[in-house]
Amino acid sequence: MAKRIAIVEDDPDQRANYTDAITKKGYQVSAYASRTEALEGFDRELPDLVILDIILGEEVDAGFQLCRDLLARAPSLPVIFLTERINEIDKISGLRLGAWDYLPKPISLEYLAERISSLLRISEVRAEHAEKESPTAKRVGDLMLDQDALLISWKGQRIDLSGTEFRMLAKLVRMPGHAVSYETFMNATMQSLVTNNTINTHMRNIRKKFEKVDEDFSSIKSEYGFGYRWSTDQL
């Protein structure tokens, strides 16, 4: 069965272009022009991946509201922000909400299709590996990190990280107890225009996700002005 992609975009020309390009890749596409339309569609059926603009009509933060609603329903749902709002504060807001990617307009339709394909592959592998441990999984104390499925568990409980968050955590735990620089994390994000504040936001998100399953979690330590380290105190 074809994967279901939802697009929420108020510009009719862009909405049509995205829909056409993604449909040609073999996906089933539902396109919505407003937050209200999108919510009605999501009430009927949740898609496998969602692409959101932030400004929808007169609602300047509609995309953020939709993201929050969607991830409350399905925490592991891949969400992509595709927007002209490229200020750092907007990007940080999107990442804090749990989006898997934040892409600026204009964008190559071919590149957009490839990002969709990549995130869906990650989502599929995670689902396949959710109930079993890969032989290549790495254990660091109570942490299990599965590089093949991009899966994390802490004390036996699964934690859903975005691809960027997973790569950053993998860098962090590669050498427990050793500080990892901001520059190393920037390279791990595979994104452009990354600042220390962006890295700090990712780390706060990662901490919060661990704290949801373990309120005493304290393995991620800040190294002021340099980066972060994975504490061995709990090992």
Strands 143-146 and 138-140, how do they pair?
antiparallel
Q: Which residue intervals of 29-108 are DSSP H helices?
A: 35-44, 62-73, 88-97
Least confident stretch, 4-13, 20-29, 158-167, 178-187: 158-167
Rounded to an integer, what is the distance from CA 158 to the centroid of its chain? 16
Tell me which fold the domain 132-230 belongs to. Answer: Arc Repressor Mutant, subunit A (1.10.10)
Residue written as token pair 């862009």: 14
Quick check: 233 pLDDT over 80?
no
Question: Is this model's pTM higher than 0.85 or not?
Answer: no
Q: Supply the pLDDT for residue 93.
A: 85
Q: Alpha-carbon distance 26 to 92, whole Å?
A: 32
Task: Give residue-wise pLDDT tens across range 118-141.
Answer: 899 888 877 766 555 555 678 889
Q: Supply the pLDDT for residue 133.
A: 54
Q: Please state the rounded mean pLDDT for residues 175-188.
A: 92
Contact 90, 83 (CB under 8 A): yes
Q: Which residues contact 108 (CB under 8 A, 6 or more apart)?
A: none
Task: Give residue-wise pLDDT tens across range 13-60.
Answer: 999 999 999 999 999 999 999 999 999 999 999 999 999 999 999 999
CATH number for region 4-125: 3.40.50.2300
Domain with CATH 3.40.50.2300 in the chain: 4-125
Domain with CATH 1.10.10.10 in the chain: 132-230
Task: Give residue-wise pLDDT tens across range 57-115.
Answer: 999 999 999 999 998 898 889 999 999 998 888 888 888 888 888 999 999 999 999 99
